[in-house]
Amino acid sequence: MRGTRLELRQVRRRFGELDVLADISLSVRAGEFVSILGPSGAGKSTIFKLLTGGLRADGGEMLFDGKPLTDETRPFAFMPQRDALMPWRRIVDNTTLGLEVQGVAREAARQRVAPLFAEFGLEGFEQHYPAQLSGGMRQRAALLRTVVQNRAMLLLDEPFGALDALTRSGMQRWLEDMWQHHSWTALLITHDVREAVFLSDRIYVLTGRPARVLREVKVPLPRPRRELASPEASAIEADILETLLNPEEDQRT
Amino acid sequence: MKSFHMSTPSHAFASSFGKIGPALLSVGTLILAWELYARFSGISPTMLPAPSRVVTQAIQSWPALLDNTLPTISATLLGFACSLMAAFIFSVLIDFFKPLRRALFPVFIISQTLPLVAIAPLIVLWFGFGLTPKIMLVALVTFFPMLVALVQGYAATDEDIEALLASMGASPLRIFLLARLPSSLPYFFAGLRISITYAVVGAIFAEYAGAAKGLGIYILNAKNNFRPDLVLAAVLVSATLTLVLFGTTVLIQRLAMPWDRLAGEHKP
């Protein structure tokens, strides 16, 4: 059985008078794709800032492989909402950024990313600048930069939020496909219910601010998943939407 | 935004004329009006020489002009180089120790309020007729704009990129080198384009206050000899010098920031 990697227990965080995270408890097992789904402004991104060390929690526990998270142990590769590619670096140098920060030599880093360019649909664009790429390609480059860091777990913060609907659907399918080959462990933040259902093994539905986990939804759909809106997926989607729209009637967690 | 590809030379020619055409037209009209007025209004050439006379005189006095231009160029470039170095060092210090900004900026702002007419003769009095006072004056007028440009440039860094680097475990120094410094480049070059024009003016002013050679002292002598044509010939040289330096900064920017002109290009 796959062991639990990340576990949050009753994590809390407030900003002055503003109570953002009231009670967040969740877990992610090895090889599992888990989504955090919640309304905009619910503090989803705050959870990631707590995980990556950008913010401190006011209370609760954050464990990775059973040990508390510290600044020295950074098991996460983080992909921010906007691609955050450096406009002055060529794509290949953008994708090796994390390795460079880890101290990997330039040539060695380039050799590590090179074989992945084809799979990420970026072959032939190694020497291009981000400004020369379309939104979908930039997002794939950002994901390549994330996965090549070889961290235990990926944190994806609304990675497709800035894309147009058609590109987004294509990217979701592509990511689901990549999932089959790589068995990454990932935590995804999104407010797109369909995206969460399509990609996830489990979904944590959050309340509005102050956020707490409203519901945990298992998505037992078989993989590979080809259809964004199969009848089974649509049923789960409708159920979650109902929860999000009428949170008072649904206080089971 | 224009994003067509220039395929033929005639297209390229038409496009570059489209860019500089209006400037040529306005400058040309101005010079033509001046020429006509100087020739036909009966005004004495010792009051207002015609542009054609300025150019002929410039060609005739070319050896003397050149002899006085070279010291101005070295004062401009050396002063500007010192100013750039100082601005960079202070900008980095300010970026890492924010309270320094509050301590230093009032001093620098006061330095910008000093009238050049007053400060230039004093500096010449204290440091003599050599190159040193010129370098100091050029540095004085260009330092603050460059410092402000750099400090603003660092502050303009994309927060997402900094958060990303922090999540990768990068130290503040790494974040500065990988993100803040490259982010400041557009601001740096904008500051450079403004400062380089100040630099030439600063050098000429310093020479005006006292120098053995230089465009400033050449202008002073020509004025004292009632030769406005030679004054304007020196102005022509200094204007050309400024334009060349300005063009050089634009060229350096293009070479240093090749990604800057790609945004409007065709995307796959």
Instruction: Find the residue in B nearest to A48 (Cα).
Output: B167
As a residue count, chain A comes to: 253
Are B202 and B138 spatial neighbours (Cβ–Cβ below 8 Å)?
Answer: yes
Contact B161 A102 (CB under 8 A): no
- pTM of the predicted structure, to 2 decimals: 0.82
Contacts of B165 in chain A (CB under 8 A): 97, 101
Using the predicted structure, report yes or no on whether residue B263 has a pLDDT greater than 70.
no
Question: Distance (Å, rounded) from C-alpha A42 to C-alpha B22?
Answer: 54
pLDDT digits (tens, 9 = 90+) for B38-89: 989 888 888 889 999 999 999 999 999 999 999 999 999 999 999 999 999 9
Banded model confidence at residue B10, pLDDT cuts 50, 70, 90: low
Token pair listed for A10: 């009753």
Contact A54 B166 (CB under 8 A): yes
Which pLDDT score, from 0 to 100, does residue B69 have? 93
How far does CA B217 lie from the centroid of its chain?
20
Which pLDDT score, from 0 to 100, does residue A1 have? 42
Contact A84 B158 (CB under 8 A): yes
Q: Among candidates A138, A245, A143, which has minimal Cα distance to A191?
A: A245
Contact B167 A130 (CB under 8 A): no
pLDDT (tens digit, 0 to 9) for every residue of chain A, 253 residues total? 468 889 888 988 988 888 888 888 999 998 899 999 988 777 888 888 888 888 888 888 898 888 888 877 778 999 988 889 999 999 999 999 999 998 999 999 999 999 889 888 898 999 999 999 988 899 889 999 998 888 889 999 988 887 888 888 888 888 888 887 787 899 999 988 888 888 899 999 988 888 888 888 888 888 778 777 788 888 888 888 888 888 776 554 4
HSE-CB for B140 with a 13 A CA cutoff? 22
Which residue bears the tokens 């005006």? B208
Question: Distance (Å, rounded) from C-alpha B254 to C-alpha B261?
Answer: 8
**Residue B5 sits at the chain A interface (C-beta within 8 Å):** no
Contacts of A164 in chain B (CB under 8 A): none
Residues 6+ apart with CB under 8 A from A18: A209
Instruction: Find the residue in B nearest to A103 (Cα).
Output: B170
Helix axes B51-60, B62-96, angle to 10 degrees: 100
Token pair listed for A151: 């961290």
Banded model confidence at residue B265, pLDDT cuts 50, 70, 90: low
Which pLDDT score, from 0 to 100, does residue B6 have? 43
pLDDT digits (tens, 9 = 90+) for B102-146: 888 888 888 888 888 888 888 888 988 888 999 999 999 999 999
Number of A/B CB contacts below 8 angstroms equals 69
Contacts of B262 in chain A (CB under 8 A): 129, 131-132
Question: Distance (Å, rounded) from C-alpha A83 to C-alpha A101?
Answer: 18
Token pair listed for B174: 């790494």
Which pLDDT score, from 0 to 100, does residue B124 have? 87
Which pLDDT score, from 0 to 100, does residue A93 have? 94
Please name the residues between 184 and 203 in chain B that touch chain A, using a CB distance below 8 Å. 185
Antiparallel, parallel or unpaired: β A211-218 and A18-29? parallel
Which pLDDT score, from 0 to 100, does residue B75 have? 93
Which residue bears the tokens 């998270």? A69
**Residue B164 sits at the chain A interface (C-beta within 8 Å):** yes
Question: Distance (Å, rounded) from C-alpha A240 to C-alpha A144?
Answer: 31
Q: Among candidates A171, A165, A212, A185, which has minimal Cα distance to A43?
A: A212
Contacts of A101 in chain B (CB under 8 A): 165, 168-170, 174, 178
Banded model confidence at residue B152, pLDDT cuts 50, 70, 90: very high
Contact A78 B164 (CB under 8 A): yes
Question: Distance (Å, rounded) from C-alpha B204 to C-alpha B214?
Answer: 7
Q: Among candidates A58, A52, A62, which has minimal Cα distance to A4?
A: A62
Q: What are phi and psi of A135, to 5 degrees?
A: -55, -45
Specify the amino acid at residue B214: G
SS3 A60: strand
Using the predicted structure, report yes or no on whether residue B8 has a pLDDT greater than 70.
no
Q: From the CA of A79, how many Å to the nearest CA of chain B? A: 7
Contacts of B182 in chain A (CB under 8 A): 86, 88
**Residue B256 sits at the chain A interface (C-beta within 8 Å):** no
Question: Under the phi-then-psi rule, with left for phi > 0, alpha for psi from -120 to 50, and beta for the rest, what region is A155?
Answer: beta
CA A91, A95, A99 angle in degrees (round to 5)?
145
The CA radius of gyration of chain A, in Å to the nearest whole number, is 18
Using the predicted structure, report yes or no on whether residue B231 has a pLDDT greater than 90.
yes
Residues 6+ apart with CB under 8 A from B251: none
ipTM: 0.85
Pick from B165, B185, B258: CB nearest A101: B165
Q: Among candidates B138, B103, B147, B119, which has minimal Cα distance to B209?
A: B119
Which pLDDT score, from 0 to 100, does residue B7 have? 46
Give first-to-last CA distance, chain B, whole Å.
18
Question: Distance (Å, rounded) from C-alpha A94 to C-alpha A214?
Answer: 38
Q: From the CA of A237, how many Å to the nearest CA of chain B? A: 31
